A and B are shown apart, each in its own frame.
Chain A
Amino acid sequence: MAFPTLVLRGGRVIDPSRKLDEISDLVIVDGKIASIGATKATAEVIDCSGKIVAPGFVDLHVHLREPGHEYKEDIASGARAAAAGGFTTICCMPNTEPPNDNRAVTELIVRRAREAACVNVRPVGAISKGLKGESLAEMGEMKDAGIVAVSDDGKPVMNGALMRRALEYARTFGLPVVQHAEDLDLAQGGLMNEGAVSTRIGLRGQPSAAESTMVARDLELVALTGARYHVAHISTAASVRLLREAKARKLPVTCEVTPHHLTLTDAACAHYDTHAKCAPPLRTTDDIAALKAGLADGTIDCIATDHAPHSSQDKAVEFAEASFGMIGLETAFALCLRLLDEGVLSLSALLGKLTYAPARVFELGAGTLAIGAPADVVVLDLTQERTFSRSHSKSRNSPFWGQTLRGAVAYTVVGGNIVHRESE
């Protein structure tokens, strides 16, 4: 009999993929989940009493900036930030330099991740060559090299005919198509949500319709092609309504929402804080209410961070000049816990949105404590407060920087190895 290598003792083990919720010991042998149940085995033991033991989080949407923008982040630092946030599998977007639009770049990312990342990194390939929205990227070869989905994230696929072809071509290879839904003509270079705040502070806004009209177009193309479609970071009430209708029509669609779009409104931009500048922009309280309702009724499948590191030189500039996006891996869990406090989701449902639900969207085979599964596990402390003043990311661009948030990741385990301890 193999000896356990790690025992997570006495925690409340919650695995939404198996509707499991019990005080128990989780035993890891050879990097895999060996058993859940009382054990007397002697091994390295972590006392988890009073804590939650859950599958490691899965993030469908991060930017690791490697290759090309390593001054913002690289695969190693982004993976450390992920581990600190409880994420054991992260999917990195292709808007690197060069972009991940061909097999050679995919292979580079896969190799760098194997060498340097402490969590599982699964690349997302480009939809179009050079992310230019003109012609299809080599999805077949990228799939063979390891991509799990395609997206031109950061940019929408504006051309409807190309989007149709992308959906058809991706379907051929069983790849979901992830859309950054933003009609650039309607957005007109808007820097924030178009509304009372943008009008008052004199910044060019973009209407929420810039997102929802793109979603509406795409949903009709999904109906035409039957392809798997996933909307990244939805932010508007109208998008939620459209996706709810699409799911009622049994279209093969999914979507994600970020913790920041559930937490902040465009009021965060009122003092020209560039850390609140992101794409899609922060919206309104009505939109947040709709997003929460969408999470609760299953319209929104999962939570993804859109972790978007930028250096101070990208952010310490005029609002109009600042880059879009914020880091999110290390604050995601604490921000999501508010959904529990507000009664939007049960703890099990919330953990589901962070684990097996996203894993299912990209068919990653992760996010579960099933016996025999890789031991990707997180130990959570729901009560501990922590001031966000340290980060494993290379960047600090977060509107939550310096704030004290409740909810902490005590341990993160990947393949049976402890890759993060809160005490460190």
Chain B
Amino acid sequence: MTPFAHRHLLGIADLSANEIVQILDLSDTFLEISERAIKKVPTLRGKTVINLFLEASTRTRTSFEIAAKRLSADAVNISGSTSSTTKGETLLDTARNLQAMRPDVIVLRHTASGAPHFIAAHVDAAVINAGDGTHEHPTQALLDCATIRKHKGRVDGLTIAICGDIAHSRVARSDVLALGKLGAKVRLAAPRTMLPIGIETLGAEVYDRMEPAIEGADVVMMLRIQKERLDGAGLFPNTREYSRYFGLGLRMATHLKPDAILMHPGPINRGIELDPALADGTRSVILDQVTHGVGVRMALLYLLAGGSAEN
């Protein structure tokens, strides 16, 4: 196998298409472990992974923890409420202290864009970005690619619509980059208040309205409206109007291609951006995304913590 050329995973922007495919292939291999009766291999035995989550997260943190444990690494979880940062310690001090304990990987979730890049410059451990502010969420994009590849057999040449609050979504940014690198055509649909200026320069086509964006799309990904923006926060009048024009309800779903698959990074605001019947319906691959999350994270821990391939 080609050695992985990166010390950290800070963003999809740093990866080539080949590297993404390498991660996806490895992920498929590791996923098999999750299906065994004894879901553990000794690959990363003796390695230490710190999950430093300074912003609330359930599924991503759990996914990283399970990924580490299935590879036999020692996983330590630090969450925002128990960290030193609430006692006034700077992120730099936190990073230096953790470094002093010689971890192999630090997985960081942070509210500030660029925080993983900052600590990566100050620690010897590999840093994995588990979501930084409104910048990137690379492992989410990778698991999205893995899920699409499984259900559609490929990513290249597909048309993928991403709908919702693009402006505040790190998932959207990483997905636009990753899907673009793999040769998909990405459409973004949102009220203009939620479309960041210049997003089309990342390689996506922008739509004012949802109907034409999902028309003919092979994959439709609905983004979550953040709780703090549910009242509009000046970006839309109210959830009723948002839901009517930018939610995937049953009426909107009549515009879907028959074989389109539905995705959502979770957690879902049921009935706002996605109708419950669709979230739980046959086209939904939302829980499959979660399953692939473990595989993708195992692949990354393996590549960055330098596990031995023989196991």
Contact = CB atoms under 8 A, between A and B. Distances in A.
Interface of A: 129, 135-141, 161-162, 165, 168-169, 171-174, 224-225, 227
Contacts of A165: 193, 234-235
B193 A140 contact: no
B232 interface: yes
Contacts of A129: 237
B199 to A, nearest CB: 13
Contacts of B238: 138
B96 interface: no
B235 A141 contact: no
Closest 5 CB pairs of A and B: A168-B192, A138-B237, A168-B193, A172-B191, A136-B237
Contacts of B236: 136, 169
Q: Which has the most chain B C-beta neighbours within 10 Å: A129, A137, A171, A172?
A: A172
Nearest to B189: A172
Given A136-B232, A172-B192, A172-B193, 17 more contacts: A129-B237, A135-B237, A136-B237, A137-B237, A138-B238, A138-B240, A140-B241, A140-B244, A162-B234, A165-B234, A168-B191, A168-B193, A169-B192, A169-B236, A173-B208, A225-B192, A227-B192
Nearest to A143: B245
A204 B7 CA distance: 69
Contacts of A168: 191-193, 195
B275 to A, nearest CB: 18
Contacts of B232: 135-136
Given A135-B232, A135-B237, A136-B237, A169 B193 contact: yes
A172 B193 CA distance: 8
A141 B242 CA distance: 10
A227 B197 CA distance: 13
A150 to B, nearest CB: 11
Nearest to B209: A172
Contacts of B193: 136, 165, 168-169, 172
Given A140-B244, A141-B241, A171 B192 contact: yes
Nearest to B235: A165
B237 A139 contact: yes
Nearest to B245: A140
25 contacts: A135-B232, A135-B234, A135-B237, A136-B193, A136-B232, A136-B234, A136-B235, A136-B236, A137-B237, A138-B237, A138-B240, A140-B237, A140-B241, A162-B234, A165-B235, A168-B191, A168-B193, A169-B193, A169-B236, A172-B192, A172-B209, A173-B208, A174-B208, A224-B197, A225-B192
A141 B244 contact: yes
Contacts of A139: 237
A129 B237 CA distance: 8
Nearest to A164: B193
A145 B232 CA distance: 21
Contacts of B192: 168-169, 171-172, 225, 227
A298 B195 CA distance: 33
Contacts of B235: 136, 165, 169
A141 B240 CA distance: 10
A171 B234 contact: no
The A interface, classified by DSSP as helix, strand, loop or mixed, is helix
Contact of A138 (B195, B234, B241): B241
A169 B246 CA distance: 12
Contacts of A225: 192
Nearest to B242: A140
A171 B192 CA distance: 7
Interface string B179-200: 0000000000001110101000
Nearest to B208: A172
Interface in B204-257: 208-209, 232, 234-238, 240-241, 244-245
A161 B234 CA distance: 9
A172 B244 CA distance: 14
Nearest to A225: B192
Contacts of B240: 138
Nearest to B207: A172
A279 B193 CA distance: 31
Given A136-B234, A165-B193, A165-B234, A171 B241 contact: no
Contacts of A162: 234
A168 B192 CA distance: 5
A222 B40 CA distance: 58
A30 B162 CA distance: 48
A161 B235 CA distance: 10
A80 B189 CA distance: 44
Nearest to A159: B234
A225 B245 CA distance: 20
Given A161-B234, A165-B235, A171 B208 contact: yes
A297 to B, nearest CB: 31
Q: Which has the most chain A C-beta neighbours within 10 Å: B208, B234, B238, B244?
A: B234
Contacts of B208: 171-174
A329 B244 CA distance: 38
A157 B126 CA distance: 50
A52 B3 CA distance: 84
A161 B241 CA distance: 21
Nearest to A170: B192
Contacts of B209: 172
B29 to A, nearest CB: 44
A128 to B, nearest CB: 9
A110 to B, nearest CB: 19
Contacts of A135: 232, 234, 237
Contacts of A227: 192
Contacts of B234: 135-136, 161-162, 165
A224 B195 CA distance: 13
A236 to B, nearest CB: 30
A224 B235 CA distance: 16
Q: Which has the most chain A C-beta neighbours within 10 Å: B195, B197, B208, B237?
A: B237
